[in-house]
């Protein structure tokens, strides 16, 4: 079977993001750098030293620190306006997926005069030119947005819709575990589970290929080993660095091979109950693994089993229990009812899940009845 693998993003696994950012911008002296981030990153003191280092290196630097947790086209427009006033030639995104996706959108719109992001979301315009250079500096270990060619932004009615195009890949992903040291345990756990599920669904999805398998299994191995320690002991730099790498490796696998039923179910779950994405993904994992277990066979099972550290005698039917034990170990809920989910909403969420673009990529064919069964199992 033929396949294509394309991840042009340069990966810089760094021990000093501020210094390496200056090196990454070498040759761009005289340019204007717009740094995008959010209020939490500013308050945590993560962005300040990076901005200071850019300024001392002689770069004209402008800070936009108003990216919200769920950015909309209006937020993108505000950032574009700042970028234009600053005459930005390069964009640096310091934050999680929301900040990075906003920077990706700004980068595209800066080279497409007269086009707004909603035009691209709904096909009224097409991307026809390269983006401004974007350097992504993730501060969480989960979304993998720093290595993907999609930007997910809310439209004018609040519907989160992705735009997919090769020019959306960041030029560089600057990955430094130091920047995640202040992430609290509950966010460490939730974002880490997002990274794990990206890798697992990429590995088990129908569009997997030999290259994505390498990235996915590496991410699964790192997350299984280091997520509990990163959650327990957030100052453990080895654990933080391992999780930062896992998020990017899993992001590459997910971007190239696609996702599956966990993410399909989480879409309507998050829309209905406004659950944090990583938390929703985490709680849905055990029941989804139980559903998919009959299709996880042969060498693919053996590789997955070894990556998560299960005994050689273990069977795929034990995956669900393993996932539930992991959730308990990192302090996350294990049931949808703990998130406020009501049984009467299951049928509607199940029907919505069948329309999600990830559903056909799931290792096992899925009907609305199957989705309802998985949701009830997770309840």
CATH number at residue 147: 3.40.50.1970
Query: Do 313 and 371 sit in the same domain of this protein?
Result: yes
Query: Do 107 and 254 sit in the same domain of this protein?
Result: no
Residue 310: CB atoms within 10 Å: 17
Q: CATH number for the domain including 242?
A: 1.20.1090.10
Residue 174's pLDDT is 97
- Mean pLDDT of the residues in the chain: 95
Angle between helices 368-378 and 277-292 (to 10 degrees): 110
- The total of structural domains in the chain comes to 2
Name the percent of the chain lying above pLDDT 70. Answer: 99
Query: Do 190 and 171 sit in the same domain of this protein?
Result: no
Q: Using pLDDT thresholds of 50, 70 and 90, give the confidence band for residue 234.
A: very high
Is the predicted pLDDT of residue 27 greater than 90, yes or no? no
Query: Do 325 and 216 sit in the same domain of this protein?
Result: yes
- Domain annotation covers residue 1: no
- Domain annotation covers residue 351: yes
Query: Do 273 and 166 sit in the same domain of this protein?
Result: no
Task: Report the pLDDT averaged over residues 290-307.
Answer: 97
Residue 239: CB atoms within 10 Å: 25
Last residue of a domain, one of 116, 149, 179: 179
- Domain annotation covers residue 302: yes
**94-145 pLDDT, tens digit each:** 999 999 999 999 999 999 999 999 999 999 999 999 999 999 999 999 999 9
Task: Report the pLDDT averaged over residues 72-78.
Answer: 95
- Contact present, 100 and 144 (Cβ < 8 Å): no
Task: Report the pLDDT averaged over residues 270-297.
Answer: 94
Domain containing 46 equals 10-179
- Domain annotation covers residue 100: yes
Query: Do 126 and 216 sit in the same domain of this protein?
Result: no
Residue 187's pLDDT is 94
Query: Do 167 and 248 sit in the same domain of this protein?
Result: no
């Amino acid at each position: 079977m033929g396949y294509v693998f394309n991840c042009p993003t340069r990966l810089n696994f760094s021990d000093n993001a501020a210094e390496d950012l200056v090196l990454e911008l070498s040759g761009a002296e005289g340019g204007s750098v717009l740094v995008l981030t959010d209020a939490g990153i500013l308050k945590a003191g993560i962005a300040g030293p990076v901005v200071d280092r850019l300024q001392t290196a002689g770069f004209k630097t402008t800070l936009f620190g108003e990216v919200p947790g769920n950015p909309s086209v209006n937020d993108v427009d505000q950032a574009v306006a700042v970028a234009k006033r600053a005459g930005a030639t390069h964009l640096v995104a310091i934050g999680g997926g929301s900040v990075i996706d906003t920077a990706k959108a700004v980068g595209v719109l800066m080279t497409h005069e007269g086009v707004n992001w909603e035009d691209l979301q709904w096909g009224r315009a097409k991307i026809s030119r390269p983006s401004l250079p974007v350097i992504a500096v993730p501060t969480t270990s989960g979304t993998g947005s720093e290595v993907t060619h999609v930007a997910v932004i809310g439209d004018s009615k609040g519907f989160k819709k992705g735009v997919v195009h090769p020019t959306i890949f960041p030029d560089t992903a600057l990955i430094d575990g130091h920047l995640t040291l202040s992430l609290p345990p509950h966010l460490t756990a939730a974002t880490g589970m997002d990274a794990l599920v990206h890798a697992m669904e990429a590995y088990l999805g129908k569009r997997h290929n030999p290259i994505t398998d390498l990235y996915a299994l590496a991410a699964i191995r790192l997350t299984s080993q280091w997520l509990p320690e990163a959650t327990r002991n957030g100052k453990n730099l080895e654990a933080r660095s391992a999780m930062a790498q896992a998020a990017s490796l899993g992001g590459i696998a997910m971007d190239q091979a696609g996702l599956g039923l966990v993410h399909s179910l989480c879409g309507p779950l998050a829309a209905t109950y406004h659950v944090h994405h990583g938390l929703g993904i985490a709680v849905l994992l055990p029941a989804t693994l139980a559903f998919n277990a009959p299709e996880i066979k042969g060498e693919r099972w053996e590789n997955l089993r070894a990556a998560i550290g299960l005994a050689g005698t273990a069977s795929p039917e034990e995956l669900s229990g393993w996932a539930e034990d992991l959730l308990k170990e990192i302090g996350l809920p294990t049931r949808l009812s703990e998130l406020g989910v009501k049984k009467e909403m299951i049928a509607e969420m199940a029907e919505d899940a069948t329309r999600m673009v990830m559903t056909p990529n799931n290792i096992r064919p899925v009907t609305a009845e199957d989705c309802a069964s998985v949701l009830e199992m997770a309840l």
